[in-house]
């Protein structure tokens, strides 16, 4: 019967061994909570990537991966030797730029579906707009990135008409 007063730990009806096990579990749980701070996350070390050997001579990386994020430098229409592809041809340059982006993304373990942001720089917005639909071939329709288009006076080489930089989140 219950007489209206509170039961104490020693008055509980559990056998002494069960109380000892329960007490040990409670103490172990409390001890685990007070072991200190969790370990810090692993260091996010930049991993540079060079698509072409000439990039190092210019003092830049085509891409830098930190964790699962890949930052891709403004990519231009050059071949493996650094020679301009498609002089005075916006469509040919745009195709070459996206082919170089594809190679960089593949080397980093990704593809266009992982691109979350792109910035397109051009010296001639009207010419770019005429061939802009070419870039859509590379992106799945439901996964097009946030994009910024910027017209500039000139790019690093006067023959370049377009350059695209991107940020990708790898799986």
Domain parsing of the chain, residue ranges: 47-169
Per-residue model confidence (pLDDT) at position 80: 86
Give the whole-angstrom CA distance, residue 63 versus residue 168: 10
Per-residue model confidence (pLDDT) at position 8: 57
User: For residue 109, what are the contacts with CB-CB under 8 A and spacing of at least 6?
Assistant: 170
Per-residue model confidence (pLDDT) at position 49: 79
Whole-prediction pTM? 0.73
Task: Kindly report the average pLDDT of the chain as a whole number.
Answer: 85
Q: How confident is the model at residue 37 (pLDDT cuts 50, 70, 90)?
A: confident
Give the whole-angstrom CA distance, residue 70 versus residue 169: 6
Query: In the chain, which residue ranges form alpha helices assigned H by DSSP?
Result: 16-33, 54-58, 90-107, 125-131
Give percent of the chain with pLDDT exceeding 90: 60
Asked if 97 and 124 count as a contact pair (C-beta separation under 8 A), the reply is no
Q: Which helix (H) or strand (E) holds 31?
A: helix 16-33
User: pLDDT at residue 1 above 60?
Assistant: no
Q: For 132, list phi and psi in degrees, rounded to 5.
A: -60, -30
> Which of 32-41, 61-70, 138-147, 151-160 is predicted with the least confidence, judged by mean pLDDT?
32-41
Q: pLDDT digit string (tens) for 97-151?
A: 999 999 999 999 999 999 999 999 999 999 999 999 999 999 999 999 999 999 9
Give the whole-angstrom CA distance, residue 42 versus residue 28: 28
* Of the candidates 78, 79, 73, 77, the residue with the CA atom closest to the CA atom of residue 104: 73
> Which of 59-73, 77-91, 97-111 is predicted with the least confidence, judged by mean pLDDT?
59-73
Architecture of the domain whose range is 47-169: 2-Layer Sandwich (3.30)
Asked if 58 and 156 count as a contact pair (C-beta separation under 8 A), the reply is no
Give the whole-angstrom CA distance, residue 13 versus residue 4: 16
Q: For 157, list phi and psi in degrees, rounded to 5.
A: -120, 135
The tokens describing 76, both together, are 């231009």
Give the whole-angstrom CA distance, residue 51 versus residue 58: 13
* Of the candidates 86, 103, 123, the residue with the CA atom closest to the CA atom of residue 166: 103
């Amino acid at each position: 019967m219950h007489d209206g007063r509170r039961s104490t730990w020693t008055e509980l009806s559990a056998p002494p061994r069960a109380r000892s096990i329960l007490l040990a579990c409670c103490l172990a749980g409390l001890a685990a909570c007070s072991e200190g701070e969790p370990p810090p996350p692993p260091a996010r070390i930049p991993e540079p990537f060079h698509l072409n050997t000439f990039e190092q001579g210019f003092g830049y990386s085509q891409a830098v991966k930190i964790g699962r994020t890949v930052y891709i430098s403004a990519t231009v229409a050059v071949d493996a030797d650094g020679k301009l592809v498609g002089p005075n041809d916006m469509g040919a340059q745009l195709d070459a730029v996206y082919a170089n982006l594809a190679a960089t993304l593949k080397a980093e373990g990704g593809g266009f579906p992982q691109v979350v942001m792109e910035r397109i720089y051009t010296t001639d917005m009207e010419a770019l707009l005429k061939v802009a639909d070419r870039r859509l071939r590379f992106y799945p329709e439901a996964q097009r990135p946030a994009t910024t288009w910027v017209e500039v006076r000139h790019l690093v080489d006067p023959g370049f008409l377009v350059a695209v930089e991107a940020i990708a989140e790898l799986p």
